[in-house]
Structure 1
């Protein structure tokens, strides 16, 4: 079964809403992994609505619900943006009407996932689940079918938000790949807790302990922080839309300048390795103020690339506790 058929794009629901608001032109935004489904989406919407609906696609980044292509929608005069792959980000609301479609993964073997969770379930243990948008229904189902311990679904998490861990003994991050789980573990480091954290990948049917990988990440991050100590020329890279974080950037700029550092600010929709390499030796330190996890992708560059939290650790002179994301 293809990726497109394994996921629920809720095209019937979208068509109903578009008819209701009498939309004439829409902008569809998909994460990269779902862009192979463009033809399917076009076909199904045309079947429901007809040829009068003009469908345009955005190929701008869609890493999360913090990056809704408002500029693209305004440029083409779209009545509504259909943003697939995420639910709405709690700290940002697009200026253009937007429908967020989580795109639930439908090909899950619930019994296999339940068996994985049963290996860590014990009587009187509270196992809290958080997930990415694709696994909301799965987690709610697991609340119902697991009786060996108390399972509590705490909702959707993002790469830069902290899980609600109140009344939890174990936290399980339900997500494909590694990014979401590792991010959640890192956000918890600034909190006092005795939680055990596991990563559950319902695509691969695996349950794993991230502690060793986190240890390696922290070893690299602490080294990068020490490389940045007392460096003079700082560049803060700020994003667009929900990744602009203007107040945080203003705080960071002021604190760095108070310490006598030279600070510049750059705004970018998509930051990549080539963009940083093209800076040459213009700066001693780069701080990524858009998506914090991006800083980890550039660990091998000659200059230290930090998150906002890591920059604040330097400013505050406190290395006793790792701060992620800010």
Structure 2
């Protein structure tokens, strides 16, 4: 990778903003402000907006600007690192979001690859370099989740990011042992953010810089304690990871695999189980959310299985 990569500008346990949605489909900004304050008080390594769970795909541009301004104002007042997600499937809208986000001076700006038609490598490089120009020196994080139209393998990701040196990190799904071998071979110098419930494995294998974390959806404070424990007792952290994965696989993932709920619905369910902020499980129309009636049952199971997070 290029020598000017800066893999630790963003690292550790990052908590994502979840939009409090009212019955009339409006965003409740007073609750969003309270959520930001709770995350700051939890001492997470940083806060990021407009990931999938932040429903970036279902906002007006006026709402986008208001969310980012609120996040920037509160984080700057508390010296909290923050990443703005400028993601949008339309490249023109996304580039305009990048330009406006840069004016708020975040730690980094997260983008996706334009998503209606998959990009070639050269198109991806062109897009990322255009985004870098508009970011005005702010580093970029590429968000390349499993549901992207094109999921880049480590070798492909290495080629694209080497040709777009302002991309300093990537949020992505990890894989099997061979995936980690390929990541070490092709992605040196790039800060990789693996799924939150796999963070201890990513740290042990010397690949992960951190996570934009679904575990922080469940418990921001608990996820932060767990992340810190990886420096001093990786075996205990891996034991907790096994139990987190067991809880997710048995009680959370079936809502997506069997019932068709979105990842955003799952993350809001985790927040309701953790009972730490004024978010609720409701998603914005037309997306369906998981009934609050499931929460109490799952809350007890979570505390029985992974109680130290709470």
Larger relative contact order (Cα-Cα within 8 Å, sequence gap ≥ 6): 2
Return the structure number with greater strand share: 1
Pairwise same-fold verdict (TM > 0.5): no
TM-score, reference length from structure 2: 0.29
Greater CA radius of gyration, 1 or 2? Answer: 1
TM-score, reference length from structure 1: 0.28
Return the structure number with greater helix share: 2
